[in-house]
Amino acid sequence: VSHLSSLLLHWLRELKSTHEHRQLIHSIKVGLALVLVSLLYLLDPLFEQVGDNAMWAIMTVVVVFELYAGATLGKGLNRGIGTIVGGALGCSAAILAQNFGKIGKASCIGVSVFIFGAAATYTRMVPRIKKRYDYGALIFILTFNLVVVSGVRADKVIELARDRLSTIGMGFAVCVSTSLLIFPVWASDELHSSTASKFSKLACSIEGGLEEYFKGIEEKEDNQSETSFNACKSVIHSKSTDESLVNFARWEPWHGKFGFKYPWNKYLQIGDSLSVLAASILSLKGCLQSHRQPTPVLTRQSIKKPCEAVVSLLACTLRELGDSIINMKRCSPAVLTEAKLQLSKLELSEAILPYMLRTLPEDDAFAMAGFVFLLMEMVDMVEKLAKEVEE
Amino acid sequence: VSHLSSLLLHWLRELKSTHEHRQLIHSIKVGLALVLVSLLYLLDPLFEQVGDNAMWAIMTVVVVFELYAGATLGKGLNRGIGTIVGGALGCSAAILAQNFGKIGKASCIGVSVFIFGAAATYTRMVPRIKKRYDYGALIFILTFNLVVVSGVRADKVIELARDRLSTIGMGFAVCVSTSLLIFPVWASDELHSSTASKFSKLACSIEGGLEEYFKGIEEKEDNQSETSFNACKSVIHSKSTDESLVNFARWEPWHGKFGFKYPWNKYLQIGDSLSVLAASILSLKGCLQSHRQPTPVLTRQSIKKPCEAVVSLLACTLRELGDSIINMKRCSPAVLTEAKLQLSKLELSEAILPYMLRTLPEDDAFAMAGFVFLLMEMVDMVEKLAKEVEE
């Protein structure tokens, strides 16, 4: 035991040093829930009540407990509903089968297993159901089969089903209380902060791209550009993560700053526009890093001022928007008007460019392409602002 | 029964009409596997052999059977390994606990449940393990708990574990034979064809975007542009689907055109470059649809010829590449040289543009931005070609 505990301590120390506190806490919570549910076996008075069905409680805890509170709740409810529906249908099928002779009974059960199994599997593949009720359908198939098939052997099908359901209920109760009461991890919080952080990520990568461009080729730091490139890509590819977070968040009860009927879909919409914006930043970067750009730093410097003004305002607006999401209040109208001001400023800089076009070779046209895209982004931004205000 | 069968017939007819043959076949396969595994309960001689443990076989079939053959195999192997490791450790812990008194035994079991539960949960969250062995770790926790905890009650822990393992093995055998022998659905085929179809999707959407641009505003069909927009987005967002397909494909045995050690990661790389390309097409489209583009059709028409030549060759190259992936042979060197030829052609058209810049207002600069991006895409393309050739 002392060896084990020293191992545990060592392990704990290692975890502390990596600062993965959330995952550590989650692991401890799971361990705790498992111990709690094992008490059904370990304590004699409890075991006399539930018997071997305690197994189902353990199974429920292991399978249902997830990192996010919403995921745990959703899976637990799915499991409960699937068990009830599957159990009820299984009981009726088993009772129906009792009326036949030995062979008739077996074939009746076989046919019902086939039909319900195939139908439920088909239902699972409907995208809408797959998204939210996949696990429930799985449990439905499982329970239905177990109940209908043990109907051949056991006479007391209904008691069997009831006992299992009650132990599953116990397991679920242990899960939910551990998950919600001890340092809950809310999917909604995660979604909220990850959406807000995307804004600042994009702001950084716009700035980074432009800064690098004006630094000239000699001082290029590949490392930094790589990270901002990856930041853009992560924003683009975050869609499936966001979708599952929204899914979990829907199951979560009222807590903190989020009320019932909170518009979770707004997050997906914002995420979508952000990914379009990230796509255009990505191609802007590609354009700036192209070997067709004018190499002399002086040529680049000539358009530095208007570019930097626009970019810094873009980044500023993005950050402001991210902050307004974090604080959950509308962003000050100053930001909106500022964006418009900036649009006119851009128009001004456009007026300078044609002059440059006439004096510089066509290489400069590429730098101009950068401008066009910044412009497009501005338009994007204003759209998103409008969405924010709705919130 | 006649009512049920008519219902089934109706259901089958409905499915046929929707042409979702693959999903239908999968559902039937699952139903079949369930019936097969239920025979363990239904047939007396078999039931005498396995007893109530037949439950575990049913559970295995329900949980492990997935649409793709690779997913079924991977889950089944994970389940098997998780059960063996969990069972072995659980047995040892239970035997160790036998040496203590009543209280000592219970607390020893509680502690081991906590430690192994928490440690395995923590391991599950390591990204590398989560990707491929998540399910195995889950089953490990489950088996360990069940075995160690029933060690308090049942004396024959080892027999219990052995019987369960053998029924799980039976369930797995039923799954694998149904999944692999009857119309198998290979994740590798799916990955292969989806990657190839991405090329043609992108080709269509480049062409569509440009065509629309030259048609002028009056004839704009929002519908068509919306679909090609969505095609681009689906290519961008396909990353997580691709990753799971690659994951499944890794589990799949040698079959058809794919050998062992097939370079599945190449598909992810190609998918990545395609998503960057899609991102730039997306922003190209945004640029072409901007309200800042010159409205007179005549102005647009003036640059039509070089644009169309480039775009049609781009699309052609993309399609050629997609075909070469489908047929699994290197694309003809003609395509490669053609691409280079095209590059020089583009250079030519660039020579025309500066002249236009001098005669047209700066609105035309936007059209030019489109060019820059097509150019970038060309560069992208050539990179991808190089990758293809490696294959």
ipTM score for this prediction: 0.78
Of B247 and A227, which is predicted with more confidence?
B247
Chain A segment 301-360 residues within 8 A of B by beta carbon are 350, 353-354, 357-358
Chain B segment 97-116 residues within 8 A of A by beta carbon are 106, 108-111, 113-115
SS3 at position B261: coil
**Between chains, do A62 and B142 touch, taking CB under 8 Å as contact?**
yes
A292–chain B Cβ distance below 8 A for any pair? yes
| A349: phi then psi, degrees, rounded to nearest 5 | -65, -30
| A258: phi then psi, degrees, rounded to nearest 5 | -100, 125
Candidates A227, A173, A103, A43; CA nearest to B107 is A43
Region of residue A183 (phi > 0: left; psi between -120 and 50: alpha; otherwise: beta): left
Length of chain B: 391
Residue of chain A whose Cα is closest to the Cα of B105: A42
Chain B segment 67-96 residues within 8 A of A by beta carbon are 67
**Between chains, do A34 and B353 touch, taking CB under 8 Å as contact?**
no
Chain A interface, mutation test: which of B122, B147, B235, B274, most A Cβ atoms within 10 Å? B122
Q: Is the pLDDT of residue A360 over 80?
A: no
- pLDDT in the model for residue B360: 41
Are the CB atoms for A313 and A352 separated by under 8 Å?
A: no
CA–CA gap between residue B119 and residue A179 (Å, rounded): 17
- pLDDT in the model for residue A368: 45
**Between chains, do B62 and A138 touch, taking CB under 8 Å as contact?**
yes
- Contact list, B275 vs chain A (CB under 8 Å): 236-237
Using pLDDT thresholds of 50, 70 and 90, give the confidence band for residue B358.
very low
Residue of chain B whose Cα is closest to the Cα of A153: B41
- Across A168-182, A366-380, B30-44, B167-181, least confident range: A366-380
- Contact list, B141 vs chain A (CB under 8 Å): 34, 62
Of A298 and A315, which is predicted with more confidence?
A315
A96-109 in b/e burial notation, b at 16+ Cβ within 10 A? ebeeeeeeebbebb
CA–CA gap between residue A80 and residue A73 (Å, rounded): 10
Given CA atoms B326, B329, B335, B336 in this order, what sign does their dihedral have? Answer: positive
Q: Closest to B118 (Cβ–Cβ): which among A27, A111, A366?
A: A27
- pLDDT in the model for residue A388: 54
B211–chain A Cβ distance below 8 A for any pair? no
A217–chain B Cβ distance below 8 A for any pair? no
- The nearest CA of chain A is from the CA of B34 a distance in Å of 7
Give per-residue pLDDT as tens, B95-148: 888 888 778 888 888 888 899 999 998 888 888 888 888 889 998 998 888 888
Chain B interface, mutation test: which of A16, A34, A230, most B Cβ atoms within 10 Å? A34
CB neighbourhood size of A64 (10 A): 26
- The nearest CA of chain B is from the CA of A195 a distance in Å of 17
Inter-CA distances, A322 with A210, A229, B221, Å: 21, 20, 35
CA–CA gap between residue B330 and residue B386 (Å, rounded): 10
Q: The pTM is what?
A: 0.79
Give per-residue pLDDT as tens, A149-192: 877 666 677 777 788 888 888 888 888 888 888 877 788 888 88
| B258: phi then psi, degrees, rounded to nearest 5 | -95, 125
- Contact list, A122 vs chain B (CB under 8 Å): 15, 23-24, 26-27
- pLDDT in the model for residue A313: 67
- pLDDT in the model for residue B207: 77
- Contact list, B354 vs chain A (CB under 8 Å): 361-362, 365
Inter-CA distances, A227 with A135, A240, A251, Å: 37, 21, 35
Chain B segment 127-156 residues within 8 A of A by beta carbon are 138, 141-142, 145-146, 149-150, 152-153
Question: Which residues have C-beta within 8 Å of that of residue A287, sequence separation ≥ 6?
Answer: A366, A369, A370, A373, B372, B373, B376
Is residue B188 packed enough to be buried (19+ CB in 10 Å), middle (13-18) or exposed (0-12)? buried
B21-42 and B157-181 are packed helices; what angle lies between their axes, rounded to 10 degrees? 150
B180–chain A Cβ distance below 8 A for any pair? no
Q: Closest to B276 (Cβ–Cβ): which among A32, A276, A282?
A: A282
